[in-house]
Amino acid sequence: MYKNHERALEALARRGRRRSLTALSGIDFSSNDYLGLAGSRELKEAARSAIQRDVSIGSGGSRLLRGNHREHEALESEAAAFFGAESALFFGGGFIANLAIFSTLPQRGDLVVHDALIHASVHDGMRMGKAERAEAKHNDAQSFEDAITDWRASGGTGTPWIAVETLYSMDGDCAPLDDLAAIARRHDAVLVLDEAHATGVLGPMGRGLGAHLEGHANVIALHTCGKALGAMGALVTGPRVLCDFLINRSRPFIYATAPSPLVAAIVRAALLICRFDNARREKLAALVAITRAQLAETCGLTSSATHIQPVIVGSDDRATRLAAAMQARGFDIRAVRPPTVPEGTARLRLSLTLNVDEVLVSSMVAALAEELKRLDT
């Protein structure tokens, strides 16, 4: 009955691309828990406090039925104020939020121009939607403008939507936001910013790299809550009319059980930490600077300027062997292979979090240097 599935899995295994789940072990250089909040005393206390005030664990239904809880509404109100947007809407996760945005908001006759490295959830949302789509070269503002100009010249009359990640999760590089915002203004376009890996870490109070653009009538942002914020879920922020449209037309919102009210309460606490505790961000920034210097000096690697550090080794086999060697030495570092990254760019993705310190970073870099040399012998 499942011969086709078995053959597909065997083909993945032959190419070194079959995925499997592994138990949690080793020193954390792979999670997205950038501020170390996931297991923090502060968020555990927020959970205890919420339970003591009788906040429900489950929502019991969709938001449009009986699943709309006061904690959802409180979070959305506080998030809109924190991020400087007119409105916010809470989803169960970043993937479903992107699915909702791009399957619902761009209309037939519109155009979505997306970065070549945009997340898979955006691609799935665009496939479900009705708008035309065009790919722009990675972080090339002119490529975005050319795509819109060509579309207008060919008769496009709708609204252009520009879709980017502010910080790219596999390369650690940042989008040219001011240039893209200028293009959006010139072409009466909507700018959609996926702040998943920047929220909590970058920008004033951790509001993201696009914080200075939020509140503009043509800007929507996605802030995930399961990375630096240490919980789960995602917040879509932007004009009230678009959040209302999602409530009324978005199938991923309408037909999904509402996120846990308890989690909403925990996210509220995480946002307060971001607002008032800059020390975590400063500590992470210092760790990034130390890591970059050591990767350059010890490994001869040119690194990104952020908490995401790719070590590109080329082939799938080299990446998996290097990752296995580092794991054997006690460091939880994972290989990332196509199709998650382009062909020929398999890599290790080093994620810097406050779950490690300078001593552990130095040990990891020293081990990496040794294993890189061994890989080439």
345-367: pLDDT as tens digits? 999 999 999 999 999 999 999 99
Q: Domain check: are 268 and 205 in the same one?
A: yes
What's the CATH number where 318 sits? 3.90.1150.10
Q: Domain check: are 150 and 292 in the same one?
A: no
Instruction: Write the pLDDT tens digit of every residue in 128-160.
Output: 999 999 999 999 999 999 999 999 999 999 999
Q: Domain check: are 314 and 202 in the same one?
A: no
Task: Please tell me which residue in 30, 32, 87, 355 is annotated as part of the active site.
Answer: 32
Integer Cα distance of 348 and 289 in angstroms = 19
Enter the tokens of residue 250: 């978005």
Quote the pLDDT of residue 37.
98
Task: Please tell me which residue in 194, 195, 214, 332 is annotated as part of the active site.
Answer: 194
Domain residues for the domain of 192 are 41-276
Average pLDDT over residues 309-325: 93
Split into its structural domains, the chain has a count of: 2
Task: Please tell me which residue in 87, 121, 139, 169 is annotated as part of the active site.
Answer: 169
Task: Please tell me which residue in 187, 223, 227, 307 is annotated as part of the active site.
Answer: 227
Task: Please tell me which residue in 72, 114, 119, 307 is annotated as part of the active site.
Answer: 119
Q: Domain check: are 79 and 228 in the same one?
A: yes
Q: Domain check: are 77 and 205 in the same one?
A: yes
Residue 377 confidence (pLDDT) above 80 = no
Q: Domain check: are 362 and 218 in the same one?
A: no
Integer Cα distance of 113 and 126 in angstroms = 10
Q: How far is CA 123 from the centre of its chain?
A: 14
Instruction: Write the pLDDT tens digit of every residue in 87-108.
Output: 999 999 999 999 999 999 999 9
Active site residue 169: yes
Q: Domain check: are 265 and 367 in the same one?
A: no
Hey, CA dihedral for 89, 91, 93, 99, is it positive or negative?
negative
Task: Please tell me which residue in 165, 171, 332, 371 is annotated as part of the active site.
Answer: 165
Using CA atoms, how far residue 350 sits from 9, 28, 100, 127, in Å, is: 27, 9, 30, 31
Query: CA angle at residue 156 from 150 to 161, to 5 degrees?
Result: 85
Active site residue 54: no
Query: CA angle at residue 287 from 298 to 44, to 5 degrees?
Result: 140
Instruction: Write the pLDDT tens digit of every residue in 216-229.
Output: 999 999 999 999 99
Is 310 a domain residue?
A: yes
CB atoms within 10 A of CB 236: 28
DSSP 123: H
The DSSP bridge pattern shows strands 219-224 and 331-332 to be unpaired
Task: Please tell me which residue in 197, 216, 223, 307 is annotated as part of the active site.
Answer: 197
Reported as a pLDDT band with limits 50, 70 and 90, residue 303 is confident
Report whether 98 contacts 196 (CB < 8 A). no
CB atoms within 10 A of CB 188: 10
Quote the pLDDT of residue 182.
98
**Percent of the chain residues topping a pLDDT of 70:** 100
Spell out a b/e string for 283-300, using b for 16 or more CB atoms within 10 Å of the CB, else e.
Answer: ebbebbebbbebbeeebe
The verdict on whether omega for the bond into residue 339 sits within 30 degrees of 0, i.e. cis, is yes
The DSSP bridge pattern shows strands 87-91 and 308-314 to be unpaired
Average pLDDT over residues 245-256: 97
Reported as a pLDDT band with limits 50, 70 and 90, residue 24 is confident
Burial of 235 (0-12, 13-18, 19+ CB in 10 A): buried
Integer Cα distance of 248 and 73 in angstroms = 17
Active site residue 282: no
Quote the pLDDT of residue 327.
96
Active site residue 165: yes
Active site residue 362: no
Residue 17 confidence (pLDDT) above 90 = no
Active site residue 32: yes
**Of the candidates 367, 376, 375, 377, the residue with the CA atom closest to the CA atom of residue 328:** 367
Q: What is the mean pLDDT of the chain?
A: 96
Enter the tokens of residue 19: 């995925």
